Homo-oligomer: A and B are copies of this chain.
Amino acid sequence: MDVLGILNLGEIAQYFAKMAMFPVFDLAYYIVSILYLKYEPGSVEVARRSPVASWLCAMLYCFGSYILADIMLGVCPIDYFHNNSHILLATAVWYLVFFCPLNLFYKCVAFLPVKLVLVAMKEVVRTRKIAAGVHHAHHAYHHGWFIMVITGYVKGSGVALMSNFEQLLRGVWRPETNEILNMSFPTKASLYGAVLFALQEGHLLPVSKSLLICLFTLFMVISKVFMTARHSHGSPFALVELWVCHVLFGSPLTGNEDTHDHHGTAPSVPISPVKTKEDLSEGTRKRKSKKAE
């Protein structure tokens, strides 16, 4: 009975790990990504003034992970753009999110229950991308541990890692912060996920890849849905990170800017802990977005 259970779990995991992402899950990924673009202050004006710039930003939000991974591996960065159907689907989503009459599409997908489902589906795609990135790098560099981790990381984080340049495209320049200085939860999770998948790829983790995909997806979905629902920008890694950073880098055990800056501690460092886009609470975002319209 127990053995059967395990077998079934393995089969379910394998089925899940081989499930096609296009078009349903990818669609959810595009919707949530372009929703985040619309939350960015000024993006609605840019869409009105320069549709080409806005479309390019939307493409970076949807396909930034492929572009960055291709750059990292020295391949044609616009290689993914030969998937005409993917690009057309993302373009349709961009058009509906920004220019749908009465803002109807936006209102539907930004409605919390709908959004929670979409966010969950986005995390499914993210995990698959990390696994695919690590696998691809492993294929090219058999013992290139660092390359595997970097590729997986980049595939999972996507546009966040090039947010400075994506903003520049919209005429915004905020050099005082970037995604690596102030990592948001998805970026951190991508890094840890990339390390796990790289270990699995090197047979240093006693678990099958499909099971790891399954478990990591579960973790990401639960964390992200919970955080989106609670408008929270804390991180489940905070405690462990605090302890590890204390042991390794001598950081103080109390008061970390990333998790406690809403407690009103005066920042003692020159770099202002500006919130990155995925860290912004949903409330702030909606307010900003509404003002922008």
Interface centre among A45, A171, A270 (most CB of B within 10 A): A171
Of the listed stretches A49-57, A212-220, A232-240, chain B binds A49-57
| Interface: A6 (CB within 8 A) | no
A99 in contact (CB, < 8 A):
yes
| Closest B residue by C-beta to A146 | B81
Give complex CA distance A42, B143 in Å: 35
Flag whether A112 is at the interface (Cβ < 8 A).
Answer: no
Looking across the interface, which residue of chain B has its beta carbon closest to that of A245? B51
Contact A74 B81 (CB under 8 A): no
Q: What separation, in Å, do the CA atoms of A50 and B245 have in the docked complex?
A: 10
Q: Which of B73, B175, B245 contacts A171 (CB 8 A)?
A: B175
Stretch at the interface among A9-17, A118-126, A179-187, A279-287: A179-187
A 58-71 binary contact with B (CB < 8 Å = 1; else 0): 00000000000011
Say which residue of B74, B191, B271 sits within 8 Å of A74 (CB atoms): B74
Enumerate A26-84 residues with CB–CB distance to B below 8 Å.
Answer: 42, 45-53, 56, 70-79, 81-82, 84
Q: Is the CB of A87 within 8 A of B146?
A: yes
A248 within 8 A of B: yes
User: Do A169 and B178 have beta carbons less than 8 Å apart?
Assistant: yes
Q: Collect the chain B residues with CB atoms within 8 Å of residue A84's CB.
A: 143-146
In contact, B46 and A271 (Cβ under 8 angstroms):
yes
A250 at the binding interface (Cβ < 8 Å): yes
B250/A99 in contact, CB under 8 A: yes
**Does A269 reach chain B (CB closer than 8 Å)?**
yes
Known contacts A181-B170, A183-B50; A70 and B74 CB within 8 A of each other: yes
CA distance A176 to B144 in the complex (A): 38
Would A45 and B81 count as touching, CB distance under 8 A? no
A156 to chain B, nearest CB (A): 14
Residues of A253-269 whose CB lies within 8 A of B: 257, 269
Contact A177 B171 (CB under 8 A): yes
User: Does the CB pair A182–B50 fall under 8 Å?
Assistant: yes
Question: B249 to A78, Cβ gap below 8 A?
Answer: no
Could you tell me the distance between the alpha carbons of A245 and B51 in the complex, rounded to whole angstroms?
Answer: 9
A144 touching B81, Cβ below 8 Å: yes
Nearest first, the 4 A-B pairs at minimum CB distance are: A173-B175, A74-B76, A82-B144, A81-B146
Known: A78-B150, A84-B144. 14 other contacts (CB 8 A): A42-B270, A45-B269, A45-B271, A46-B181, A49-B181, A49-B257, A49-B269, A49-B271, A51-B245, A71-B77, A74-B76, A81-B146, A82-B147, A173-B176
